[in-house]
Amino acid sequence: MQPPGPGLGPVPLAAIQCKECGFIHPIILDGKPCPMAKEKTKSGEEIDLSDFFKNLKFIVSSQIQQKQIKDIKKFLGLVIVEITKFSEKYKE
């Protein structure tokens, strides 16, 4: 292990700065996309989901705490199902 990076904790020797996302993380196998890479629309516009995920995390966390949800995996699965249903019906 290398010494800790700034606020990152120890960085594994096999970690490099990713060309897709710009973060330092373990090497991804050839042919596999970086899961943290920014997505783009067909027109090339970057899709920024950071605000969405920040808000979703707050909503989901508060509901888990408020309702004292025990089966968190099941709850999160249902959230994903509902988001999928909504996005499939969405029209502009």
Q: pLDDT per position in the chain (92 positions), as tens?
A: 444 445 555 555 567 788 888 888 888 877 788 888 888 899 989 888 888 889 999 999 999 999 999 999 999 999 999 999 999 999 98
Give the angle subtended at the CA of 37 by the CAs of 31 and 41, to the nearest 5°: 100
Q: Provide the residue type at 24 as one letter.
A: I
Q: What is the pLDDT of residue 5?
A: 47
Indicate the pTM of the whole model: 0.59
pLDDT at 40: 86
Alpha helix (H) residue ranges in the chain: 50-66, 72-89
Q: Are 71 and 77 within 8 A, CB to CB?
A: no
Break the chain into its structural domains and give their ranges.
2-37, 47-89
Contacts of 5 (CB under 8 A, 6+ apart): 11, 24
